[in-house]
Amino acid sequence: MAELTLKHAAVKAIYTVVPKTIYKSIDYPFFSEEEAKMFSKTTGIIERRVANANITASDLCYQAANALLEELNCRNDIDLLVFVTQSPDYFLPASAAILQDKLGLPTTCIAFDVNLGCSGYVHGLLLANRYLQNGGLKKVLLLAGDKSTISTHEKDKTTFPLFGDAGSASLIEYDAKALDWFLDAGTDGSGADAIIIPGGHSRNPYGTIDTSDFTSAPGVTRSLKHLHLDGMQVFNFALKNVPNSLRNVLNKADLSIDEVDFCILHQANQLITDSIRKKVKSSPEKFPSSIQLFGNTSSASIPLTICSELKEQIASQKLKLLLSGFGVGFSWATLLLNTEGVQTKLLEYE
């Protein structure tokens, strides 16, 4: 398990974009009224945002990044663009390369995609820090976003009502005086089958597999092109690993959970958030939640929660934030992040 102390980087701005279209859990046609109530009570999801057919994750992130670069006037200063996504525009090239050009970033800018989901934002911050820490690079643009709704089958109750779409852009700068960050991260690939889209890539290329719909359980119809999610396995993974990861970071930072201002967990579902919170013996007000309005937005859920729930605090106060992303892989990463004067904005896609 990786445990690191990270130096010399500061988060300056976080912008997030969500689509305008709202899907309400109560309107999902394959839920009975009772199921819809139980779903919202357990997952917390009342509604979520869904991107139109012609909008991709890179489009959402582009709009977040473009607004950030315009308002912070740093378009020509970006040294590295990292795009964390599992819904890129193409097999190849990397969407980050397309975004470098579309955003008008200098050609001296390094750009690449990172194939991580719910843990990806925190891994992206780690990468940003590692590139910045010796001062050779000065500014990193971290984009994290997904259009998860493109891969869920409408008749799969275990995935379709859970996911929302969102894109984010964060600016991280070299800062010799920045307070240290502390990280704990890990991977357990034995859980690879728990969250998977089995068809369409090298292992099961289209043309070699049957992509017709099948029903694996009542209310669970999908094909090999669609996302499969084993909720119980994911739940077990999260409860087994995330509380320990939070404790590891707190130990490393020599802090108690009470000394942290806010703990922003990946918004998988409210039951997971509440269970993790209870395991580390903390209070609901320390664990802000945005899942009620946006669903599970994969790699964008942490920046979206910051923009949605902590706008005033993160702009005006010095904060100790404990961020933890966990999910597909399985992969997880927890970071103690010291922030001061972070500019945020939550926008709707135009």
Partner 1 sequence: MEIIDFIKVIEEEFEDLTPGTLSPDSVFRDMDGWSSMHALIFVALIDTTYDVLLTGEELKSCLTINDLFDITNLKMSSGGINA
74 in active site: no
In the complex with partner 1, the residue whose CB is nearer, 34 or 285, is 34
H helix or E strand, kind and range, residue 349: none
For partner 1, the binding residues (CB under 8 A) are 34-35, 38-39, 42-43, 158, 230-233, 235-236, 239-240, 271-272, 274-275, 278-279
In the complex with partner 1, the residue whose CB is nearer, 20 or 37, is 37
H helix or E strand, kind and range, residue 264: strand 262-265
- Write the DSSP assignment of 189-233 as a string of letters: GGGGGGEE--SSSSSS-TTSS--S-EEEETTEEE-TTS-EE-HHH
- Write the DSSP assignment of 81-144 as a string of letters: EEEE-SS-SSSSS-HHHHHHHHTT--TT-EEEEE--STTHHHHHHHHHHHHHTTSS--EEEEEE
In the complex with partner 1, the residue whose CB is nearer, 103 or 229, is 229
266 in active site: yes
Distance CA 298, CA 120 (A): 8
In the complex with partner 1, the residue whose CB is nearer, 175 or 230, is 230
Exposure of 259 in the CB half-sphere (CA atoms within 13 A) = 12
The answer to whether residues 338 and 319 touch, using CB atoms and an 8 Å cutoff, is: yes
| Residues facing residue 296 across a β-bridge | 163
In the complex with partner 1, the residue whose CB is nearer, 204 or 275, is 275
Distance CA 59, CA 114 (A): 17
DSSP 160: T
Q: What's the min distance (Å) between Cβ of 288 and partner 1?
A: 20
List % helix, strand, coil for the chain (3-state, nearest 5).
35, 30, 35
The answer to whether residues 246 and 334 touch, using CB atoms and an 8 Å cutoff, is: yes
Q: What's the min distance (Å) between Cβ of 32 and partner 1?
A: 9
Q: What's the min distance (Å) between Cβ of 41 and partner 1?
A: 8
Q: What's the min distance (Å) between Cβ of 191 and partner 1?
A: 12
Of 109, 118, 263, 307, which one is the catalytic site residue? 118
Of 8, 226, 228, 266, which one is the catalytic site residue? 266
The answer to whether residues 238 and 244 touch, using CB atoms and an 8 Å cutoff, is: no
In the complex with partner 1, the residue whose CB is nearer, 19 or 243, is 243
Q: What's the min distance (Å) between Cβ of 239 and partner 1?
A: 5
* Structure-block tokens of residue 153: 């089958």
Q: What's the min distance (Å) between Cβ of 144 and partner 1?
A: 26
The answer to whether residues 232 and 194 touch, using CB atoms and an 8 Å cutoff, is: no
**Which residues have a catalytic role annotated?**
118, 266, 296
